[in-house]
Amino acid sequence: MKLICVIGVGYVGLVTGACFADLGNKVTALDIDEKRIENLKKGILPIYEPGLEELVRRNVKAGRLSFTTSYAEAVKGAEFAFIAVGTPSGVKGEADLQYVESAAKSIAQNMTSPLVIINKSTVPVGTGDWVADIVKRAQPKPMGFSVVSCPEFLREGSAIGDFMQPHRTVLGSTDKDAANKVAQLHLALRAPIVITDLRTAEMIKYASNAFLATKISFINEIADICEALGADVKEVAAGMGYDTRIGRHFLDAGLGWGGSCFPKDVLALAYMAEEKGLDPRILNTVMGVNYERRKTAVEHVKSLLGGSLKGKTIGMLGLAFKPNTDDMRDAPSIDIASELNAAGATVRGYDPVSMDVARRIVTAVEMFNDPYEMANGCDALMVVTEWNEFKQLDLEKLKGLLKSPVIFDGRNIYDPAVMKGMGFTYRGVGRGY
């Protein structure tokens, strides 16, 4: 059993802390948000993630996981301190490191024994060296420590599985002994461990996310070409995916990517390149293609309704940026709702999980607690998030509730032939018509 503290109980920190506790370690998770910690002590989680609530409760009950707002309590006696705080985008796209800086200073001021400090947050290349300098300068008296980069590769909606069965663990440090200690902490996961220097480890995270974002933007551009030439992008992606050099993952055409990682990480990587006098043409194009998807979706709905959205009522099936999460950060639904409103449409929305979060963000959308109630009287529906429950909707019932049987399927969850056979005016993304 190792003594671990995790700084930050947001998405990454809470999953990391709960999973390490479930592996038999004693974990103290800290956050400066008193309300968030108070809720966690009551078993109320700040995020929705399948399986996480039960994991947290089980390990709290077992005495392996606790929560605090006190650095003195969290850091005292700890062998490892994970920094898992937010790094939001700044004005120019740069990563805002104020929370990392605050965490590093507070760790330095409260550590009572030698400590391995691990950057779990996604941070710009060079941050590990910067954190080491902050800790050294902030210590009341000199004490041994090392900094290790251990970027996270968690997908919202499957984060626990991603943590427990990772494709790889990436570690970077100038201190090989410290890196090996962190490697030992991850041995139970039985995954390949890549040990490299700090800057390379930090770059692996950015390069990985940028490449995955590129795959999505690429298949969306191919979808437009498929649509123009009469091909089916779903079949194209399937055929491409059998090639092991390409793979099938992240080749789903639709409304593009959103969430907390891809948007800010691609932007931050482009910013880092530009700061060094480089021209990140591919990264800038990847971002441009992605955000065009949202406007294009609205144009498709406008076309299906005869060229105008003025006075129309449009229902959105799904609001979160992806299924199995309540995360609304940079969700396509936000821009789509804004575009629809600007075109004169009334917008309705339904999501199985993210409604409470969405109400605070997309205030011009009328929320409904039932998809059929939401669809009643709509001129058209848009599939915005590919929740499984939408795949099993009673389509005949839905058709009878709509003012006109129009569906724009932004996630290609339905079969075009089936939908048209049922009498829907249907359009998917890149389905060849």
Over residues 115-139, the pLDDT tens digits come to 999 999 999 999 999 999 999 999 9
Count CB-CB contacts under 10 A for residue 276: 7
What is the pLDDT confidence band of residue 214, given thresholds at 50, 70 and 90?
A: very high
- For the cut 70, the answer to whether the pLDDT of residue 27 exceeds it is yes
Tell me the average pLDDT across 19-43. Answer: 97
DSSP assignment, residue 95? B
Tell me the average pLDDT across 106-117. Answer: 97
Query: CA torsion angle for 162, 164, 170, 171 (degrees, to 10)?
Result: 140
DSSP string, 320-350: SSSTT----TT-HHHHHHHHHHHTT-EEEEE
Q: The pTM is what?
A: 0.94
Over residues 228-278, the pLDDT tens digits come to 999 999 999 999 999 999 999 999 999 999 998 999 999 999 999 999 999
Residue 432 pLDDT: 80
Tell me the average pLDDT across 91-108. Answer: 96
Active site residues: 261
8 Å CB contact between 298 and 339: yes
For 233-262, give one letter per residue: b (16+ CB within 10 A) or e: bbebbeebeeeeeeeeebbbbbbbbbbbbb
CA distance 354 to 360: 10
Please choose, from the candidates 19, 191, 249, 33, the residue with its C-alpha nearest in 3D space to the C-alpha of residue 120.
19
- For the cut 70, the answer to whether the pLDDT of residue 369 exceeds it is yes
- For the cut 80, the answer to whether the pLDDT of residue 433 exceeds it is no
- How is the chain split among helix, strand and coil, in percent rounded to 5? 45, 15, 40
Over residues 376-393, the pLDDT tens digits come to 999 999 999 999 999 999
**In 257-415, where does DSSP find H-type helix?**
262-275, 281-304, 332-342, 355-359, 371-375, 388-391, 395-401
CA distance 372 to 367: 12
- Which residues make Cβ contacts (< 8 Å) with residue 415, sequence separation at least 6? none
Residue-range domains of the chain with CATH: 3-196 (3.40.50.720), 212-427 (3.40.50.720)
In the numeric block, which tokens belong to residue 274?
């530009």
Q: Give the chain's mean pLDDT.
A: 97
- For the cut 90, the answer to whether the pLDDT of residue 195 exceeds it is yes
CA distance 321 to 336: 12
- Which residues make Cβ contacts (< 8 Å) with residue 160, sequence separation at least 6? 15, 18, 19, 49, 50, 51, 52, 55
Percent of the chain with pLDDT over 90: 98
Over residues 383-422, the pLDDT tens digits come to 999 999 999 999 999 999 999 999 999 999 999 999 999 9
DSSP assignment, residue 292? H
Name the phi and psi angles at 141, rounded to 5.
-145, 150
At 202, the amino acid letter reads E
Tell me the average pLDDT across 137-159. Answer: 96
How far is C-alpha 427 from the geometric centre of its chain's CA atoms?
A: 27
Percent of the chain with pLDDT over 70: 100
- The helices-and-strands tally (H runs, E runs) of the chain is 18, 14
8 Å CB contact between 65 and 59: yes
Tell me the average pLDDT across 23-48. Answer: 97
Residue 336 pLDDT: 98
